[in-house]
A and B are shown apart, each in its own frame.
Chain A
Amino acid sequence: MSAALLIEQLLNGLQFGVMLFLMAAGLTLIFGVMGLINLAHGSLYMIGAFAAAGVAGWTGSFWLALMGALMAAAMIGALVEMVVIRRLYDRDHLDQVLATFALILIFSEGTRFFFGSLPLYLDTPDLLSGPTMLPGGIEYSKYRLFIIAVGLAVGAGLFWLISRTRIGIQIRAGEADREMIAALGVDIRKLYTLVFALGAALAGLAGAMIGPIQSVEVGMGEPVLILAFVVIVIGGIGSIKGAFIGALLVGLTDTLGRIMLPQLFGLFMDASSATTVGASLASMTIYILMAGILLFKPSGLFGGQS
């Protein structure tokens, strides 16, 4: 494999990784702070993508579409928290799974009702369409570079928010001991709504940014949700740093596995069975990675006490 191809594949893995990070960050915050398993996180990703497609169809502007997606996902997130999720904090995880699974069905059918079951498409903005030349003669899609940049910026922003601001202190305190910070006079209900809306907005942003690359369709959130759960389990539940490292690990493992495994099997098998076996095994690599990490670190890379 040439160096140019390897660098291109690393960029692909990085881009996939930061997308997963946007999803996993919200999921891990919500789980860490509120102890809530939110299966409907994938629906918020879908809502972001549909909101972006709707706004783009209406105004023709990608940037407005991105803003619209952020706001729609945050608003629906806050609404869902106040109407449904709030009643689930004291229940056990099974009730939460059941209720948020019901939300998936409601959001999927609702979206189908308004937008139909055929996929929608978003166009990349002119500024970001086409490839660009990177140093070393590597041609790479501008839009994918944009996703990487946004993902890294959001990651840095979240670190700053969690570690340097008053809200961040409250979030971390809420993670450690929810009764105590309520006793100290923090409005815990408002804090929970805020965290949920923040997580929803990140998922919506991820959905909106993936729109121009893939198609916008009902059910697009669930495959990503599964990967996001893998990411937070690898990274350690509740840890933003863990979500970031976990997302990049999963992104790179998946991308490089898809490319390298068939070639690896090609060394000792005939070409056609090597490609089928390699392709089949490639779809398992991230789960093997997860199992391997859990073997040595049962609470994930950056997980606290289990």
Chain B
Amino acid sequence: MKLKTLALAGLMASTSSMALADGVSIGMITTLSGGGAGLGIDVRDGFMLAIEQSGRDDIEMIIEDDERAPDRAVQLADRMIQSDDVDIMTGIIWSNLAMAVIPSATAQGVFYLSPNAGPSQLAGPGCHENYFNVAWQNDGLHEAAGAYANTAGYGNSFILAPNYPAGRDALTGYQRMFEGDVAEEVYTQLGQTDYAAEISQIRNSGADSVYFFLPGGMGIAFVRQYAESGVDIPLIGPAFSFDQGILGAVGEAALGVHNTSQWSQDLDNPTNAAFVEAFQAEYGRLPSLYASQGFDTANLILSAMEVAHPDDADAFRAALEAANFDSTRGDFAFGPNHHPIQDIYVREVVMQGDVLTNVVVGTALEDHGDAYADQCQM
């Protein structure tokens, strides 16, 4: 499934990238099927909305589905870099896929802009001058949740995440800020759909709060089963556990739950208001934070393209570093390791009309960078 806005691009790509000197070719590998599809579809839709709004016709998009399989992602990346000759890559949702693809892509001179995954390895010793994360370093939202749990007065948390790089980053991040005790720390399988055993553990743990990081279909399954089980220990999560896609499927079981996010549909800035309205008009649903990340990533690329072509790597990189674009988050700046420094908010799930959504109720961390920046040598 390829979206080509440039005719004959396939033929030209095989000759040399010089043939495409005016145009820019962007490869997007993301998850468009299975339990993680909601995230990839939102990133893609947000991204394409920005590209469409720019009105540029010199951008070739190659969009492929990785099916959340690392080997598939590596295959797609090799093809995009070696035969499609892309200048920029983006789109990966899952940190294990990111770890499999990004280091080799950036080593081959391609720019990679992450609209989601931000594994700690790539923020610290494994950072690279051609790798930018437009979303967050993985720990960020979880650190904010730990800080929120302190102010909410919780003293004993049961914490739960899938066993993959972002899951381990999540629980590390939460514990970095949380001052209370951890009743139990549990890792589940990535893509697990039945949480009966974990919910039984929660019921018998004596914790006063449950912190869980389960993005996509995993979160939907967990929250539905949790509501069904009758356990009433309050849930806290990062935005990933209560994004717009999950809320639609979980229903009222999520009402009143607090979660942490760098973005919310009600953030008060003109870029965001316009984005939320345009996204709803285009796709007929409320955007999620993933959609906002896709939108910001595309706008960052567009802003840098105004300055230089990716073939002029140093100038293009400098333009990306400047981050001279209007973000849906308001102010946006990169830290020294090309990861954002941003405010992280506390949101509450409310019913607006007949749609469940998140509204901002406070700020958990201000101008928050990440804990790995000083390990990065670029």
Contact = CB atoms under 8 A, between A and B. Distances in A.
Interface of A: 2, 4-5, 8-9, 12-13, 15-16, 112, 117-119, 121, 124, 129-131, 139, 141, 143-144, 213-215, 217-220, 223, 255, 258-259, 262, 271-272, 275-276, 278-280, 283
Contacts of A5: 200-201, 203-204
A13 B197 CA distance: 8
Nearest to A124: B228
Interface in B14-37: 32-35, 37
Contacts of A213: 193-194, 221, 224-225, 228
B32 A117 contact: yes
A12 B249 contact: no
B229 interface: yes
A280 B190 CA distance: 11
A31 to B, nearest CB: 26
Given A2-B204, A131-B229, A119 B220 contact: yes
B220 A9 contact: no
A245 B168 CA distance: 36
A16 B195 CA distance: 11
- Of the four ranges (under 10, 10 to 19, 20 to 34, 35 or more), the interface on chain B belongs to 20 to 34
A30 B303 CA distance: 60
Kindly list the 4 A-B residue pairs having the minimum CB-CB distance in the complex, ordered from nearest. A131-B230, A279-B187, A214-B193, A12-B196
A129 B193 CA distance: 19
Interface SS of chain B: helix, strand, loop or mixed? Answer: helix
Interface string B19-57: 000000000000011110110010000000000000000
A118 B45 CA distance: 14
Q: Which of A4, A15, A143, A272 has the most CB of B within 10 A?
A: A272
9 contacts: A5-B204, A12-B196, A13-B197, A118-B41, A119-B217, A129-B228, A279-B187, A279-B189, A283-B189
A112 B220 CA distance: 20
A219 B193 contact: no
A139 B249 contact: no
B224 A121 contact: yes
A218 B33 contact: yes
A262 B159 CA distance: 14
Contact of B221 (A214, A258, A271, A283): A214
Contact of A215 (B35, B163, B204): B35
Nearest to B196: A12
Given A218-B33, A283-B189, A276 B230 contact: no
Contacts of B204: 2, 4-5, 8
Contact of B228 (A2, A119, A141): A141
Given A2-B204, A141-B230, A279-B163, 17 more contacts: A112-B33, A117-B41, A119-B35, A119-B38, A130-B230, A131-B229, A139-B203, A213-B193, A213-B228, A215-B217, A218-B33, A223-B191, A255-B196, A259-B197, A259-B201, A275-B187, A276-B168
A172 to B, nearest CB: 34
A210 to B, nearest CB: 8
Nearest to B221: A214
Interface in B192-251: 193-194, 196-198, 200-201, 203-204, 217, 220-221, 224-225, 228-230, 249
B185 interface: yes
B40 to A, nearest CB: 10
